[in-house]
Amino acid sequence: MSLPSGWEMVIGLEVHAQIHTRSKIFCACPTGFGGEANSRTCPVCLGMPGALPVLNRRVLEMTALLGLALGSRVALRSQLARKNYFYPDLPKGYQISQYDQPLCEGGAVEIPFEGGRRKIALTRIHIEEDAGKNIHLDGRSLVDLNRCGTALAEIVSEPDMRSPDEAREYLGRLRQLLLWLGISDGNMEEGSLRCDANVSVRHVGDTELGQRTELKNLNSFRAVAAALAFEAERQVAVLESGGKVEKVTLLWDAHEKRSRPLRGKEESKDYRYFPEPDLLPAGLSEGELSTLVAGLPASPLDRLDSLMENHDLDFYEADILTRERAMVDFFELLAEACGDSKAASRWMLGELARQLNDRVQNIEDLKLRPDSLAELIVLERDGKLSGLAAKSVLEKMLEEGGSANEWMERLDLAQLSDAGELANLVKSVLEANPKEVERYRGGRKKLFGFFVGEIMSATKGKADPKEVGRLLREGLDA
Ligand code: ADP
Ligand code: MG
Ligand code: ZN
């Protein structure tokens, strides 16, 4: 997509991530997707009068950890606030959120950009409770309050992005970090990661922001990018025909690939925010924060750079290998154990990825250890296993564990690569077929395949093909 020349897009994203905790943010009810409707509720999350919330400290810890990883300032004392509005899936008539004193301010999400990195600045990260779900079914409307009170972190960016691709990259890197730190499962389909996209357009060179609209109901990365492109084009068309962009909230229809007005955009004054009287100000001590800082793992992009520098991988390989922490940890152990980063990367991105995919298995719950895969890689490299045989050994190791050597023996797959033995074999095949040898030497080069075939059938396919080729050429061209 591209806007007519002279126009520029400005994008800011509000991302809601469900924080992975066992219980909800203000009560002991269990979290988790699904469950029999309204079974995971109590007077607190049902909003019964007089029921008092108690803050789950794990939510503070996880959100502070995210803030620290993103370089935000984490407040020692933040304030919870009531955001008042009525909706059937919000039984209290207000949502407990944060307003003027959020837990985290500032910071940035870094995205790879032209061989380096670009920072997308953050405004804030605050904690709040999720609402329930309205279900519209056969002309009836039902309410499921299981999700009510699930902990959320809301991550608000500055209007710092300039294209749908950049927005998509931002969202992808944020999701990667949430998983990396174990803060959220980042599942957009199940709604544990949700994104509202704000977009405006302006003439290139303008410094003031244009009027923005807000897009909701974006259930995938693709929807975010498509909705932004559509909406920016619509705004340009409105402005070019002399109209004015209204500040509205729009719903994205992924089916029709168009946005529809949902309601006028509410202002913060509409919500009558005030400090939550039932909860004390919330924060972690300096000691708790330093413990979190000390435990922060290296970031995905730092690990990516290190793979490119220390293992000579290209961006594409290093990027895939750092999608998950368990994956890059596995890779580094594997590369060290087999002494060959390129082979380690080729195996992990190729055959291992393919077999894991077939089995719908994750690298974390593997029976296969990095040093067993290293053993397999070395066996193949030294010509003791053919490429095909190595794949069958990998399959066995994934299924049942065990070492590569063990499986090679048990399946009788060892490749014949002993040079002396193979040389004798080549010699006897040539002696047994004098006519073919003569015709080959007379110019029928196609007969080369015939000799390879003879040797393979004599060894039940186990001869090392590279070595066979070399010896045959030696014998025939002598
Ligand atoms: P609200 O909560 O009412 O939606 P916020 O002030 O929290 O309002 O802003 C929400 C998002 O909108 C932020 O990510 C911000 O970067 C983005 N935003 C604000 N103004 C613009 C604009 N003119 N164009 C694009 N995005 C904008
Ligand atoms: Mg908003
Ligand atoms: Zn509850």
| pLDDT tens-digit map of 305-344 | 999 999 999 999 999 999 999 999 999 999 999 999 999 9
Q: Kindly state the average pLDDT of the residues 286-312.
A: 97
Q: Kindly state the average pLDDT of the residues 168-181.
A: 97
Mean pLDDT of the chain: 93
As a whole number of angstroms, the distance between CA 19 and CA 127 comes to 9
- Atom 2 of ligand 1, nearest CA residue: 268
Comparing 33 with 425, the larger pLDDT belongs to 425
pLDDT at 413: 80
- Atom 24 of ligand 1, nearest CA residue: 200
Span from the CA of 91 to the centroid of ligand 3 (angstroms) = 12
- Integer distance in angstroms from the first to the last C-alpha of the chain? 63
Span from the CA of 249 to the centroid of ligand 2 (angstroms) = 9
pLDDT at 366: 84
- Atom 5 of ligand 1, nearest CA residue: 156
Q: Does residue 250 carry a pLDDT above 80? A: yes
For the chain, how many residues are written?
478
For the chain, residues classed under CATH 1.10.10.410 are 419-477
Ligand nearest to the CA of 208: 1
Atom of ligand 1 nearest to the CA of 266: 3
Atom of ligand 1 nearest to the CA of 157: 14
Ligand nearest to the CA of 156: 1
State the Cα angle at 62 between 154 and 181, rounded to 5°: 100
Q: Kindly state the average pLDDT of the residues 271-278.
A: 96
CATH of 419-477 among 1.10.10.410, 3.30.710.10, 3.40.47.10, 1.25.10.10: 1.10.10.410
C-beta separation of 153 from 17 below 8 A: yes
> Distance between alpha carbon 286 and the CA centroid of its chain, in Å?
31
Comparing 319 with 478, the larger pLDDT belongs to 319
As a whole number of angstroms, the distance between CA 478 and CA 473 comes to 8
Encode pLDDT of 148-174 as tens digits. Answer: 999 999 999 999 999 999 999 999 999
As a whole number of angstroms, the distance between CA 384 and CA 416 comes to 7
C-beta separation of 192 from 185 below 8 A: yes
Q: Does residue 270 carry a pLDDT above 90? A: no
Q: Does residue 1 carry a pLDDT above 70? A: no
300 lines ligand 1 (CB under 6 A): no
- Atom 14 of ligand 1, nearest CA residue: 12
C-beta separation of 355 from 395 below 8 A: yes
pLDDT at 309: 96
Which of 48-52, 155-159, 249-253, 441-445 tops mean pLDDT? 155-159
157 lines ligand 1 (CB under 6 A): yes
Q: Kindly state the average pLDDT of the residues 466-471.
A: 88
434-456: b or e for each residue (b if 16 or more CB lie within 10 Å)? Answer: eebbeebeeeeeebeeebbebbe
> Distance between alpha carbon 91 and the CA centroid of its chain, in Å?
34
As a whole number of angstroms, the distance between CA 425 and CA 404 comes to 27
Q: Does residue 133 carry a pLDDT above 80? A: yes
Those residues with Cβ within 8 angstroms of residue 258's Cβ, 6 or more apart along the chain or in another chain: 230, 252
324 lines ligand 1 (CB under 6 A): no
Residue 70 DSSP symbol: T
415 lines ligand 1 (CB under 6 A): no
pLDDT at 93: 95
pLDDT at 388: 83
Those residues with Cβ within 8 angstroms of residue 233's Cβ, 6 or more apart along the chain or in another chain: 1, 3
Span from the CA of 89 to the centroid of ligand 3 (angstroms) = 14
82-110: b or e for each residue (b if 16 or more CB lie within 10 Å)? Answer: bbeeeeeebbbebbbbbbebbbbbbbbbb
201 lines ligand 1 (CB under 6 A): no
Atom of ligand 1 nearest to the CA of 267: 3
Closest residue by Cα to residue 197 from 223, 235, 177? 223
CB atoms within 10 A of CB 160: 19
Q: Can you tell me whether residue 129 is helix, strand or coil?
A: strand
Encode pLDDT of 421-461 as tens digits. Answer: 889 999 999 999 999 999 999 999 899 999 999 988 888 77
Q: Kindly state the average pLDDT of the residues 85-99.
A: 94
Ligand nearest to the CA of 30: 3
- By most ligand atoms within 8 Å of CB, the mutation choice from 14, 213, 267 for ligand 1 is 14
Span from the CA of 10 to the centroid of ligand 1 (angstroms) = 10
pLDDT at 281: 96
Closest residue by Cα to residue 62 from 292, 286, 298, 297? 292
